[in-house]
A and B are shown apart, each in its own frame.
Chain A
Amino acid sequence: MVTRSPYPHWFYLPAAVVYGVLFVVPTVTSFWFSLTRWTVFDSTFVGLDNFVTFFREPALVKGLTNTLIYGVVTSGLKVVLGMLLAVLLTSQIAARGWLRSVVFFPVLVSTIGIGLTFTVLMDPVDGLINQSLAVWGISGPAWLTDPSWALLSVALVDVWKGVGLATLIYIAGIVSIPAEYFEAARVDGAGAFARFRSITLPLARPATATVIILSLIGGLRSFDLIWAMTRGGPGFTSDVIASVIYKQYQAGFYGLSTAGNVVLFVLVTAIVLPLSRILNRREVEL
Chain B
Amino acid sequence: MRNRLIIATISLLALAGCSPGSLGSSDEDGKLTLTFLVDNSAESLKPAEALAAGFTAKNPDITVDVESRPQGSEGDNIIKTRLATGDMTDVFQYNSGSLFQALAPGQNLAPVTDQAFAGDLDENFKATVSADGQLYGVPFNASMGGAILYNRKVYAQLGLTVPKTWAEFMSNNAQLKAANIAPVIQTYQDTWTSQLFVLADFHNVSAAEPAFAADYTANKTKYATSPAALKGFTHLQEVHDAGYLNSDFASAKMVDGLAQLASGKGAHYPILTSVVTSLAADHADTIGDIGLFALPGDDAAKNGLTVWASAGVYIPKSTEGAKRDAARQFLAYIASPEGCAAFAQAGPPSGPYMVKGCTLPADTPQAIKDMQPYIDAPGGSSLALEFLSPIKGPALEQITVEVGSGIRPAADGAALYDQDVKKQAQQLGLPGW
The residues of A with any CB-CB pair to B shorter than 8 Å are 37, 39-42, 44, 53, 56, 58-59, 123-125, 142, 144-147, 231-237, 247, 249-253, 256
Contact = CB atoms under 8 A, between A and B. Distances in A.
Nearest to A148: B407
Contacts of B427: 37, 39, 252-253
A145 B188 contact: yes
Interface string B247-272: 01011000000000000000000000
B429 interface: yes
Contacts of A58: 416, 419
Contacts of A44: 429
Contacts of B81: 40
Please provide the 10 A-B residue pairs with the shortest distance between their CB atoms, ordered closest to farther. Answer: A235-B402, A251-B394, A250-B73, A145-B250, A41-B104, A40-B84, A235-B401, A40-B80, A145-B251, A235-B398
Contacts of A235: 398-399, 401-402, 405, 407-408
Given A53-B423, A145-B250, A251 B104 contact: no
Interface in B79-106: 80-81, 83-84, 102, 104
A39 B108 CA distance: 13
B73 A251 contact: yes
A117 to B, nearest CB: 16
Given A40-B81, A41-B104, A236-B398, 12 more contacts: A39-B104, A41-B83, A41-B84, A58-B416, A124-B251, A145-B189, A147-B407, A231-B191, A233-B401, A235-B399, A235-B401, A250-B73
Contacts of B76: 250, 252
B74 interface: yes
B40 interface: no
A125 B189 CA distance: 14
A40 B82 CA distance: 10
Interface residues of B, number: 35
Nearest to A232: B398
B379 to A, nearest CB: 34
B366 interface: no
B137 to A, nearest CB: 18
Interface in B162-199: 188-189, 191
A242 to B, nearest CB: 16
A117 B284 CA distance: 31
A147 B406 CA distance: 10
Contact of B191 (A146, A233, A256): A233
* Interface residues of chain A: helix, strand, loop or mixed (majority): loop
A236 B402 contact: yes
B423 A234 contact: no
B340 to A, nearest CB: 32
B424 interface: yes
Contact of B102 (A56, A232, A252): A252
Which of B398, B401, B419 is most buried by chain A, counting CB atoms within 10 A of its CB? B398
B107 interface: yes
A69 B359 CA distance: 58
Nearest to B191: A233
B77 A252 contact: yes
A147 B398 contact: no
A235 B413 CA distance: 11
Nearest to A46: B426
A234 to B, nearest CB: 5
Interface string B100-124: 0010100110000000000000000
Nearest to A246: B73
B251 A142 contact: yes
B107 A41 contact: yes
A241 to B, nearest CB: 16
Nearest to A235: B402
B158 interface: no
Contacts of A142: 250-251
6 contacts: A147-B407, A234-B401, A237-B407, A250-B394, A251-B73, A252-B102
A119 to B, nearest CB: 9
B281 interface: no
B395 interface: yes
Contacts of B251: 123-125, 142, 144-145
Interface in B50-86: 72-74, 76-77, 80-81, 83-84
A58 B433 CA distance: 19
